[in-house]
Structure 1
Amino acid sequence: MSVQRFVGPNSRDAMRQVREALGDDALILANRPTEGGIEILAMADNAVAALDTPMPARPPALARDATPWQAMSERLLREMQEMRELLDRRAPPKQSAPPSVRERLMTQLLAVGFSREIATEVLDGLPARLEGNAKASTEATQAWLSERLAARLITLESEAALLDRPGIVALVGPTGVGKTTTTAKLAARFVMRHGAASGALVTTDSFRIGAHEQLRIYARLLDVPMFALEADAPLDTLNERLQSATWVMVDTVGTSQRDQRVITQMAALKQTPVPVRLVLVLNAASQPDILEEVIERYRQAARAAGATLDDCIITKQDEAGRLGPLLDVIMRHDLRLLFGAHGQQVPEDLALIDPSALVAQALATARPDAPVHVPAASPARDILGQGRRVASLLERLRQRVAGFSQLEQLTALSGLPRSVQAARLETLQATPPVAEVLGICWGPRRRERGMDWALPDLGVDAEGRWTALAWPQHRQPAGWAARLEAQTTATQAAVHWLPVGLDAEAHAWLEAQLAPWVGAARASQRVVFQGERLTLGQLFAASQLGNALPLRFQGRALEQRSAYAEVTFTGLTTPLLAWCLELFDPESERVQARRYYVTPARLGSEAQALLATPLQAEGVAALTRRAWQLQKKYAEGDIDVELRLLLASGMAAAVMHLDVASDDGASTLRRDLLALVGRRQRRDTALLDALHHAFMTREAIRALSASYAEADE
């Protein structure tokens, strides 16, 4: 038996016996006083591991001569064995759940130097297909993240946007950021594009030893004139000497952001009849808090001088340990990135900013141990964050939705006196749209229910998506053929969606142009099918509709099922295809609506791809009514009726564009828009409310900025 009994006159002696017999690791099972002293039951530690034989569920009867003390020792052994078995059967510890996609991306953004503020704004647009998929591929998530970050950067479209515009460009910033070398690089690029005759260099740096001479060497190499000016002298003192130059580059003296002379410098640059474009030069290798302070102080100085400072150039890109903090501060302050410098060679080491490449470089320089820059919290920063989100949304809508820029111009008009609105509107309406449209979805020639206006004619772009362009019906000539002719000439439209059946003249014009078209029809419309005269309702009464396609209709996800037959119309010489469409709800398994259309027979079954547009137009009409009411309720001041209608229909078309699209870009835009107001209603109406809110927020910020500018004057 592995349990041994030790008796000693006292506990110290008994324990000595235990150690001598079983070692220092012996397991004491029990001890008790006896007539002879102290009794201890103990066993060797390695004997516990040897107890592998399971103990019976109920112990056998103890021998008649077994003492209570021996019975207790047996029970102890049995309990120890049961505990051992329990430990052997214990469940393995639960492993912590793997981080979600959002958590992984948040960790990554913080590690490369972005603030939690920007990281949160970026990840708020994470698509559901990625956020809810823990197994989403790294390639997919990184591609989305890179695209999202690149979209947050405001950059110069081309060198021409800076170098082909006559005027004065002044580089400002602290000492040692590379203004003089950058001045030479930009001047060299100008000379390469336009020659040396129309350029000039100016320096205000009279403090650094040799600063004039350094720029003078560059001027001599480029064969352009160079002029020196005292740092606090107004720029207009050089007006006569700069008359022959159409483009002037100014290299200013480097001034610490904490130096009060920054304000004096800005005021001197502002004193010229020619507008001066201020460009802040930032050292990419600077600490985040230094970059923050430089931007804030220089912008404050520019505002104090009545100027704006919205452009920047980054230098020493090759010396930066990581670019995340730099991009973060640029995003938060909405600076436009013009160029990036990555070396001393003139002009080679200066490049137009490529947002995707810059983001890729930033994401490749993770330092988990680096401190995260946390901008100071303030109400003003919250307002800036709201303005930044709205500006980003509107910029992405501008890039995606054709005609959105014109819609924004209309929004700006609504804030002017009504006496001015009509004249400005005439000018805008006379200007052809920037983007050509694929086709025109013609509005019904009747007033909308409960309204005193008819839905304008709306544009569809080359990808079959709604544009924000609209043309009021009262501006169209009389007669369908004349309308079609005028709009096709003005917009280069190739496809036409018509709200009624065609007359012979309009049909002849469309056929002569070989233009694709779709005409709405009614169930009572009579046609000739295989020599028999039938209504469309009778023609398709027994038809089995198939070829189900997904479709969003009036804010709902439905299926479009169709059937078609070749027919002829009285008075028309060419055959047509008559279409019957059913909108089917796959959840309730019920038909929600039935519509009839006609298309040219020459298009064949491919015409089905055109049938979603008139269905979606029904939703545009409903959204236009809602937008009209929002304009009437919230607009400040009196708005011209036509202007209000163009605003309402343009907003409705832009929202329909987003609501029916299924790509990731549209999904992200929808999510960001809805985040402005929350979604407490149907998606399309919630999107419309959010777009209206974005416009109101932008105009409010503009008005506030204008009021501060007036107060400063």
Structure 2
Amino acid sequence: MSVRRFVGANSRDVMRQVREVLGDDALIVANRRTEGGVEILAMADDAVDQFDPSPATTAPVEPPRQEAAPATAFALPKQPDPLEAMSERLLREMQDMRELLSRRQPTSDAQRGTQTTYEQLQQLLARVGFSAELSSEILEALPDALMSLEGNSDAAMTWLREQLMARLKVLQHEASFFDQTGIVALVGPTGVGKTTTTAKLAARFVMRHGTRPVALVTTDSFRIGAHEQLRIYARLLDTPMYALDIEQPIDELVGRLQGKQWVIIDTVGMSQRDQRVIEQIAHLQGGQSTVRLVLLLNAASQPETLEEVVLRYRQAARAAGAELDDCIITKQDEAGRLAPVLDIVMRHGMRVLFGSYGQQVPEDMAVATPQALIDQALSASASSSERSAPAPVSLPRWSRDVLGQGRRLSSVLTRLRQRIADFYRLEAAWDIAALPSIVQDQRLDELLTGADATHDAMGMVWSPRRNERGCDWSMPDVALNDQGAWLALTRLQHRQPAGWQPRLARCSADIAVHLLPALPEPDAVAWLTDQHLTWVSAVPASQRVHCQGERHTLRSLFQDSTLSHSVSVRFRGQGVRLSTAYVEAQDTSGNEVLAWVGDVLDPETSKRVVRRYWLTPARLGSDVLTLLVTQLQSDGLAALTKRAWQQLKEADGGNVSSELRLLMASGAAAVAGHLDTAEDETAQALRSDLLRLLGTQRKRRDTALLDALVHVLMARDAIRQLGSVSREGVI
């Protein structure tokens, strides 16, 4: 076939290949973009000349023998016409090519069923109003398992909803807004609904706290009837209303509001292009009192307008040394599509407090929930002729790329906090590392004291009581949550008492499971038994037990045993099989135990990687197998901690104390190990996003996750540092 397929990273690369193979006069039949770059179908211009019109050579016919009968006369085959043969050949090629293109590029409704999941979800997002920028960012994480499904399948739509909801920040608890005393100022363009929203919020405050501590304030002296409208609401709510002149300092207002704990300011509506926006916000932030700013966004506005509103008002807030991260979406009932405003909120990392959808006070306002907002956005319909406009180019390309990376970092951190109960404590350790070294030890003591008092642990993986090979530190102990997953804040060994029994007794009463690196002294085992605690102890092959009246080492006891029970586990970053067996026995003190053996096997070759032995209380039976798996998987945490320790040591330049660095490194290792071993869909999505931030492919998943997590925490620290420097006016 003379039609050739060429693939390259870009158009220039593909055309170079075409010219080299087919010459400068090659005929380009079709081209399209693929995930790997650009694909072109081309054929040589002289394909007709390459056709050989000469008849095919036939094998010579042996002449008949003389005594044989004369051969029956037959007609020679008709020689095909060269042009006719060429035409048939080209026709076949064009038919093949048409079939190829029809498979790759469906264009009609009948062919739409052949679209990939990626394409169908991309079209859905564009149709309801999400930008191409956010859509591409989301769909880059589409799991391979969903690629072969229909784009409108339940699994694909569930995944899409979860991705969108994860990116939408909302007010987690209504009480956290209405119970926080202070001044709230609603800002935004003219006609966005500030006065009505002020009344709705005031009504909610009054319902929770009564009328006496609540006051309304207006700065709108420009709009006719603005004072009177708010005064009517104030009279209905039985709360006082005050007018603040645009020139009056905010502190003067505070002096007039003695006894008022919740104050809501209805500000002057100004176009985002009005230079007085900066003056207005600077005026609100100019006093001693802290004013919470909330931006109102009209869901019925055009995407370009909303984008500009967010940019200009946030720039004005930063110029005044304030933060503008919260918003309220208004006029949802007037908006044909909700996706454009949610798209802008997600891309700028803002938090949605409430949604407003009517004029009734206070009924037509509700706390924002991701599920309700995303479902409303995805259910919007658009006419077939409507085209989704691209996101306005209001920022340089490099700025949008940085913002996109920042959004991905924020999304990953948010989901890590949601998944790992004490992840915020690991972040607190990283915050301490950014402080001057003279105060690090004091802050670390405060962090660890608070963690001891209010921890989330249900179990403990105890590490060997020795220094790691080649290191001057010992691996910290790692706490487990109620699901048996590692927590982020580890326990430093040198801060614990000597001896197993004092060490175990010091643990909180909530620590019900102890995974021990070696069999402790008989008094510690007796204490664990008396306390009715669950324990598992790793032991060497030379450990002796009594079985059926005879004394054996575990090596000899299991020498001829068949290991039947098998489970899949993660071990040192690789997927393996763990085959186990156990027998009833007594330890050297006469306690009834189960003696276990486990072989870690390569799943492809069935070759043994390592063999391990354990002792467990006989009363627990075989249900402790999951704990054996947890302890086995914990074996890789020390190596991950070493890796993180070295990365941090190279990065901090010796300005971080050794025990703080160890706490940071082991915590990052525990989180990376947690994500490596978890197999639920949420963990898989988080893993995928975390590895994508790393930008490179690694063979071992656990080390790749660790490197990505360290990258995320370092980036978070750098952003925080940059933010504090900016506020100080240094840059």
TM-score tier after normalising by the smaller chain length:
0.7 to 0.9
Bigger drift between 661-670 and 308-317 goes to 661-670
Structure 1 residue 134: Cα displacement: 3.7
Kept in 2: contact 1:620–1:649 (CA 8 A)? yes
- Higher RCO (C-alpha 8 Å, min separation 6): 1
Say if 1:422 and 1:144 are closer, same or farther in 2 by CA, change over 3 A: same
Amino acid at match of 2:489: L
Distance in 2 (alpha carbons) for counterparts of 1:615 and 1:81: 70
Q: Is contact 2:468–2:475 with CA below 8 Å preserved after alignment?
A: yes
Aligned position for 1:125: 141
Kindly state the Cα deviation for residue 205 of structure 1 after the two structures are TM-superposed: 0.8
Q: In the alignment, what sits opposite 2:495?
A: 475
Question: For the residues of structure 2 that align with 1:219 and 1:524, how far apart are their CA atoms?
Answer: 82
Give 1:615's match in structure 2, choosing from 632, 635, 638: 632
Partners of 1:232 and 1:594 in 2: how far apart? 79
1:198 and 2:213 matched? yes
1:387–1:697 contact (8 Å) kept in structure 2: no
Confirm whether residue 541 of structure 1 aligns to residue 559 of structure 2. Answer: yes
CA displacement at 1:82 relative to structure 2: 13
Taking structure 2 as the reference length, the TM-score comes to 0.84
Give the secondary-structure state (helix, strand or coil) at the position aligned to 1:408: helix
Matched with 2:70 is none
From 676, 681, 699, the counterpart of 2:717: 699
* Residue of 414, 417, 430 corresponding to 2:449: 430
1:284 matched to 2:284? The reply is no
Match of 2:619 in 1: 602
Give 1:85 deviation, angstroms.
14
8 Å contact from structure 2 (residues 121, 152) kept in 1: no
Q: Deviations over 1:182-209 (max 9, x none)?
A: 1111111111111112111111111111
List per-residue Cα deviations over 1:374-396 (Å, max 9, x = no partner). 23242222211111111111111
- Aligned residue identity for 2:702: D
Q: How does 1:392-471 map to 2 (within 5 A)?
A: 392-432=411-451, 436-471=456-491
Query: Residue in 1 aligned with 2:120?
Result: 104
What CA distance in whole angstroms lies between the structure 2 residues aligned with 1:603 and 1:712? Answer: 63
Q: What are the ranges of 5 or more consecutive residues in structure 1 without an aligned counterpart?
A: 1-73
Q: 1:593 & 1:167 partners in 2: Cα distance?
A: 62
| 1:445-481 Cα distance to aligned partner (Å, 9 max, x none) | 1111111111111111111111102110111122212
2:589, 2:596 → 1: CA distance? 19
The secondary structure found in structure 2 opposite 1:432 is helix
Partner of 2:520: 502
**Residues of 2 paired with 1:466 and 1:203: CA distance?**
52
Point out the more displaced range, 363-372 or 342-351. Answer: 363-372
Question: Counterpart in 2 of 1:511?
Answer: 529
Distance 1:110 1:104 in 2: 10
1:336 aligns with 2:351: yes
Decide which structure has the larger Cα Rg and report it.
1
Q: Distance in 2 between matches of 1:616 and 1:274?
A: 53
SS at 1:466 equivalent: coil
Q: Which stretch of the first structure deviates more once superposed, 103-112 or 521-530?
A: 103-112
Aligned to 2:392: 375
Specify the SS of the correspondent of 2:246: coil
**Which residue of structure 2 aligns with residue 41 of structure 1?**
none
Give 1:639's aligned residue. 656
Q: 1:591 aligns with which of 601, 608, 615?
A: 608
Task: State the shift of 1:139 in Å.
Answer: 0.3
Aligned mates of 1:124, 1:465 — CA distance in 2: 28
CA distance in 2, matches of 1:85, 1:383: 53
Contact 1:447 1:453 in 2 (8 A): yes
**From 119, 123, 131, the counterpart of 1:115:** 131
Partner of residue 407, structure 2: 388
SS of the aligned residue for 2:551 comes to: strand
Which of 260, 268, 280 matches 1:253? 268
Please state how far the C-alpha of 1:135 moved relative to its aligned partner.
Answer: 5.0
Q: Which residue in the other structure is 1:36 paired with?
A: none
Q: Distance in 2 between matches of 1:665 and 1:583?
A: 27
How many residue pairs match? The answer is 636
Deviations 1:20-62 (A, max 9, x none): xxxxxxxxxxxxxxxxxxxxxxxxxxxxxxxxxxxxxxxxxxx
Q: Distance in 2 between the 1:309 and 1:562 partners?
A: 58
- More deviation, 554-563/506-515: 506-515
* Alignment equivalent of 1:656, drawn from 673, 687, 705: 673
Amino acid at match of 2:620: L
Equivalent residues of 1:415, 1:637 under 8 A apart:
no
Provide the C-alpha distance between the structure 2 equivalents of 1:668 and 1:435, rounded to a whole number of angstroms. 27
Give per-residue Cα distances to partners, 1:100-157, cap 9 Å, x unaligned. 21121112111211112111111122122113x2457700000000011000011111
Give the 3 Å change call, closer, same or farther, for CA 136–313 of structure 1 in structure 2: closer
- Tell me the residue number matched to 2:707: 689
Aligned Cα RMSD in Å? 2.3
Secondary structure, counterpart of 1:645 in structure 2? helix
Q: How far apart are residue 243 of structure 1 and its match?
A: 2.0
Deviation at 1:673, TM superposition (A): 1.2
Q: What residue is the counterpart of 1:628 in the other structure?
A: 645
CA change 1:174–1:712 in 2 (3 A) is farther
Structure 1: distance between partners of 2:478 and 2:84: 85
Contact 2:281 2:316 survives alignment (8 Å): yes
Looking at structure 1, the residues matched to 94 and 334 of structure 2 have their Cα atoms a distance apart, in angstroms, of 56
- 1:264-287 CA distances to partner (integer Å, 9 max, x unpaired)? 111111123221110000000100
Partner deviation per Cα, 1:269-308 (whole Å, 9 max, x = no partner)? 1123221110000000100000011011111111111111
Q: Do 1:546 and 1:561's aligned partners in 2 also have CA atoms closer than 8 Å?
A: yes
1:370 offset after TM fit, Å?
2.9
Please show how residues 239-388 of structure 1 align to structure 2 within 5 Å.
239-367=254-382, 369-376=386-393, 377-388=396-407
Unpaired stretches in structure 2, ≥5 consecutive residues: 1-77, 105-113
Cα distance between partner residues in 1 of 2:661 and 2:282 = 42
**Which residue of 2 is the match for residue 665 of structure 1?**
682
In structure 2, give the amino acid aligned to 1:236.
D
Q: Quote the offset at 1:373 in angstroms.
A: 2.9
Q: Classify the secondary structure of the residue corresponding to 2:487.
A: strand
Separation in 2, partners of 1:296, 1:86: 58
Aligned AA (2:716): R
Residues 481-525 of structure 1: CA deviation (Å, up to 9, x unaligned): 221121124xx2111111110322221221122211111111000
Q: Give the Å deviation of 1:86.
A: 12
Q: 2:586 aligns with which of 549, 555, 568?
A: 568
Partner in structure 2 of residue 17 of structure 1: none
Query: How far apart are the structure 2 equivalents of 1:702 and 1:87?
Result: 65
| Structure 1 contact 415–636 (Cα < 8 Å) conserved | no
Equivalent residues of 1:536, 1:596 under 8 A apart = yes
How far apart in 1 are the matches of 2:410 and 2:190?
A: 32
Counterpart contact for 2:131–2:388, Cα < 8 Å? no
Moved more, 427-436 or 475-484: 427-436
The TM-score normalised by the length of structure 1 is 0.86
Mapped partners of 1:252, 1:466: distance in 2: 49
Tell me, in whole angstroms, the C-alpha distance in 2 between the residues paired with 1:638 and 1:82. 78
On the 8 A contact 1:232/1:264 being kept in 2, the answer is: no
